[in-house]
Chains A and B, each alone.
Chain A
Amino acid sequence: MAFSRDEILEQVTEVMVDALGVDDDEVTLEATLMGDLGAESIDFLDVVFRLEKAFDIKIAREELFPADALMNDPSLVGEDQKLTEQGLALLKEKMPHTDLTEFEKNPDINKLGDLFTVGSIVNFVAARVS
């Protein structure tokens, strides 16, 4: 099925409103799921389930939210809690739908949560349904 970018944004907004109990005017492209919209870990699965239904796609968990796979590997995360070069390369490969320019300057894994914005999800879906 083909969706225009506006249609995708509209559906993603509806998913966020239903899954996170937020108002639709809070769902901006820049809004972060955890910081701005208050998502917890179970909400990420809820979002994935709803996106799968809304767009009739299958999403492997690590595909949309690959951070968990990185966390526990010492070759990817240094002792300073920052991603190593290798870790950063892997993250870039796994998250092509997300702009990592800012994150690269200080790749602190505790800030990974901020990478999941409404915009990155719209990009992800757009890449999958086109």
Chain B
Amino acid sequence: MRWIWIDKFVEFESGKRAAAIKNVSMAEEHLHDHFPGFPVMPEALMIEAMAQTSGILVGEARQFQEKVVLAKINKAVFFDFVRPGDSIRLDAVIETVAPEAAGTTGKITREGQLIAEIDLMFSHVDQNLAGIEFPKDNFVFDDNTFKSLLRDFLSQNKSNHAH
């Protein structure tokens, strides 16, 4: 992953569900333009935050061996603005994970208040139905930066996988 848009996982159940935190800061320059005098987190970037939360959950379910790519936004409904200083929580659940793809549901909340519902599908692109070939290198999980998000969980997961 080249660009990290969430701050940390706070809950992680391998192959099932995870929760991550994203702190929204006025230091994010796009907020100065979105909108001048009324900074709110763009909804597209809430989808991105959920895609990263869900995508890492889906990737970890296959030990980061698959190239997990966002393939479809099944649902994205927003109920309130997110402003600088807010800390949002992203809860993601794996509904289905198959050899070719995975489906997730997700909720964004702020201090328990529902902000958004975002359901996604991810493709394991090497298993795509069209038989298209992709580069061998795993360009999705190609460095370890994103693993810092899982700092509280990775050692625990490793021991789980060893069994």
**Chain A residues near B (Cβ < 8 Å):** 18-19, 41-46, 48-49, 52-53, 61, 65, 68, 71-72
Contacts and interface: CB of A to CB of B under 8 A. Distances in A.
* A interface: dominant SS: helix
B130 A49 contact: no
Given A52-B96, A61-B100, A45 B129 contact: yes
A43 B128 contact: no
A48 to B, nearest CB: 8
A68 B131 contact: yes
Contact of B130 (A41, A46, A61): A41
A61 B123 CA distance: 14
Nearest to A67: B129
Given A44-B129, A49-B101, A68-B131, 5 more contacts: A18-B74, A42-B71, A45-B98, A49-B96, A72-B131
A-B pairs with lowest CB-CB distance, top 10: A42-B71, A49-B96, A45-B101, A42-B72, A41-B129, A49-B103, A68-B129, A41-B130, A46-B121, A45-B100
Contacts of A72: 131
Contacts of B101: 42, 45, 49
B131 A43 contact: no
Interface of B: 71-72, 74, 95-96, 98, 100-101, 103, 121, 123, 128-131
A44 B101 CA distance: 11
B100 A53 contact: no
Given A52-B96, A53-B96, A46 B103 contact: yes
Nearest to B103: A49
A18 B95 CA distance: 15
Nearest to A41: B129
Contact of A42 (B96, B121, B131): B121
16 contacts: A41-B128, A41-B129, A42-B71, A42-B72, A42-B101, A42-B121, A43-B72, A45-B123, A45-B129, A46-B121, A48-B98, A49-B96, A49-B101, A49-B103, A53-B96, A71-B131
A48 B96 CA distance: 10
A10 B71 CA distance: 27
A111 to B, nearest CB: 17
A27 B135 CA distance: 38
